[in-house]
Amino acid sequence: MRTLSIAEQRNSKLHSVAEARKKWEQAKYTQKIIRVKLLCKSSIKAKCEEYLNGEIVEEYEGGEFLYEMNVPENEHFWYGTILAFADQAIVIEPPDLVERICLNCNQTLKQYEEV
């Protein structure tokens, strides 16, 4: 097995952290960010902390908790994660997201009823 040193790699480029940070801060982020509030069961606490970039803002007796996160509106990862939680999480806000989930789930149910 051959080992390559960094000097042997083609198309390598040194990157400055300061320069990258400056470009990131100057870039215009055009995607709309929304605040999502979930009421979650205790069984998905670790998954929320691992997969979603948010915070637990309130915990209730019985283990349920309120989870909040700011996410790009049309990004698929967080949306799919929420759907995968099934009955373990309920979207509290925003109302538009609740409508979107209902619409998508009804479309999916209809598709499988036709099978």
Q: Tell me, what's the pLDDT at 18?
A: 80
Query: Domains in the chain, ordered, with CATH?
Result: 33-113 (3.30.70)
How wide is the angle at C-alpha 100 spanned by C-alphas 67 and 94, nearest 5°?
40
How far is it between the farthest Cα atoms of the chain?
A: 59
Kindly report the pTM of this predicted structure. 0.72
Per-residue pLDDT tens digits for 5-64:
656 566 667 777 788 777 777 766 678 899 999 999 999 999 999 999 999 999 999 999
Helix, strand, coil proportions of the chain in percent (round to 5)? 45, 25, 30
Per-residue pLDDT tens digits for 65-93:
999 999 999 899 999 999 999 999 999 99
67 burial (CB, 10 Å; 0-12 / 13-18 / 19+) is buried
Omega before 72 cis (within 30°)?
no
Burial 54-64 (b: 16+ CB within 10 A, else e): beeeeeeeeee
Q: Tell me, what's the pLDDT at 94?
A: 97
